[in-house]
Structure 1
């Protein structure tokens, strides 16, 4: 068996798959990656390796009631403040 850390990975211990095909992702890894219940993954097979690829949620468009053609520099400053706070 190959060393998981040889490809830049970090080991989080061993898990065992159940009779029903389920396995538990260690809590420390879920916490590190901020994985919560309901997170969706795509399962990918690469030879004898199984990858779980997290699916990102769809981005939502946020508007402040402005018409699409009315977005100006002030709107982008407001969006920056809302995202990053005052700097």
Structure 2
């Protein structure tokens, strides 16, 4: 593991090597956990959305409907 500093505005940079190793992308949210004076940053991983269809035939329209239900128009 590397070292990092906190800047005047309270921001802490995570070294590139660690971001790549942990597959962290820009915009990821973290939960802050204080354990006896040690601050842990735990990435919040969104739960996947399950999409169901009663259609027995999976055509292009079915996939477009599923995408719209998941991500909006």
**Pair in the same fold by TM > 0.5:** yes
* Unmatched runs of 5 consecutive residues or more in structure 2: 57-73
Moved over 6 A (4+): none
Aligned match of 2:20: 31
Structure with the bigger RCO (C-alpha within 8 Å, sep 6+) is 2
- Equivalent pairs, count: 56
**Which has the larger share of helix?**
1
2:31 to 35, 42, 53: 42
Aligned match of 2:9: 20
TM-score (norm 1): 0.58
Between the aligned partners of 1:35 and 1:24, the Cα distance in structure 2 is 12
Give, in angstroms, the shift of residue 62 of structure 1. 2.4
TM-score (norm 2): 0.68
Aligned match of 2:42: 53
Between the aligned partners of 1:19 and 1:48, the Cα distance in structure 2 is 21
* Unmatched runs of 5 consecutive residues or more in structure 1: 1-10, 71-87
